[in-house]
Structure 1
Amino acid sequence: MMLDSSVRHQTYIEDCEVCCNPIEVSPRFESGELIGFDSQSIEQ
């Protein structure tokens, strides 16, 4: 999974590479470094 550190806080949907179910991904960056990461399965 590639993350864009130019955006401090972001939330987006990405499909799981294994089962193809959607996952809500929420990384947080400070000074270009990852400081937090949350993910949640969006069951279908």
Structure 2
Amino acid sequence: MHEIHIQCPYCLQAVTILLDTGVYENTTVVEDCEVCCRPIEVSYDVYAGEVTSYSYESIEGNEF
């Protein structure tokens, strides 16, 4: 597992997300924000058991 720290695209709070490094190549997961519980889509690349890049975005519209 690899821990990343991001800013929630909805509530703008800092959150921590764990990414599974046991997967291969590009993976997309949906994780809920620890603060506002809204879904965040995280896409990331794994090479040799290490996360090489990641990006994230909101799934729902941002009403705030």
| TM-score after normalising by structure 2 | 0.60
Secondary structure at the aligned position of 2:27 is classed as coil
Q: 2:28 & 2:60 partners in 1: Cα distance?
A: 17
1:20 counterpart letter in structure 2: C
Of structures 1 and 2, the one with the larger relative CO (CA 8 A, separation 6+) is 1
Counterpart in the other structure of 1:23 = 40
2:27 is the alignment partner of 1:10: yes
Identity %: 48
Larger-gyration structure (1/2)? 2
CA root-mean-square deviation: 1.3
Deviation string for 1:8-39 (max 9, x for gaps)? 22111111111111000111111111111010
Counterpart in the other structure of 2:58 = 41
Which stretches in structure 1 are left out of the alignment for 5+ residues? none
